Amino acid sequence: MLPASGIHIRRATSSDASLLRAILYETYESTWFPELTPAAARRFRDEDRPGAYVKARGAAFRVAECGGQVVGFVDWDADFVNALHVRPGHARQGVGSRLMDMAETGIARAGFPTARLETDTFNARSRAFYAKRGYREADQYPDTEWNSGLTTLLLVKPLDQTAKGIRRKE
């Protein structure tokens, strides 16, 4: 586990785009690729989904740096966490927790009583991470994004509204 002081969180900049795209491809390879049909995997690469996502939402990302290297990011909008990705080599070192702390604080400051996000049933590591943070299953439904027979879980966490007053460097 890295000391909290060794993880710096900041807003993404346009110069981060290629690094963010690379993180998305790394986490795709280690998490999603083994679960997808060959057709879904081909579409992912052909459409360059990471590049399109970074182009559309990258300016809203908060990135985590360790030793000057971008190692993860979080993206949220209103009360919904769209994405949390940490380079596989930096998993379980506190990076994801620091990023989620920032997202949850931002969501609470915006006045939302809960944070929501999705993960898939096969993703035991993310499910355990979110459960430890207090997220609970609110719904499940077919994952239509991948068209691979997966099941999506909607996870919800009540937020401490006193967190609105907390000031963190962004």
- 13-40 pLDDT, tens per residue? 999 999 999 999 999 999 999 999 999 9
pTM of the model: 0.89
Number of compact structural domains in the chain: 1
> Whole domain around residue 55: which residue ranges?
4-165
Q: The CATH number of the domain where 104 resides is what?
A: 3.40.630.30
Percent of the chain with pLDDT strictly greater than 90: 83
Which class for 13: exposed (0-12), middle (13-18), buried (19 or more C-beta within 10 A)? exposed
**Roughly how many angstroms between the first and final C-alpha of the chain, as a whole number?**
21
Q: Which of the four pLDDT bands, split at 50, 70 and 90, describes residue 89?
A: confident
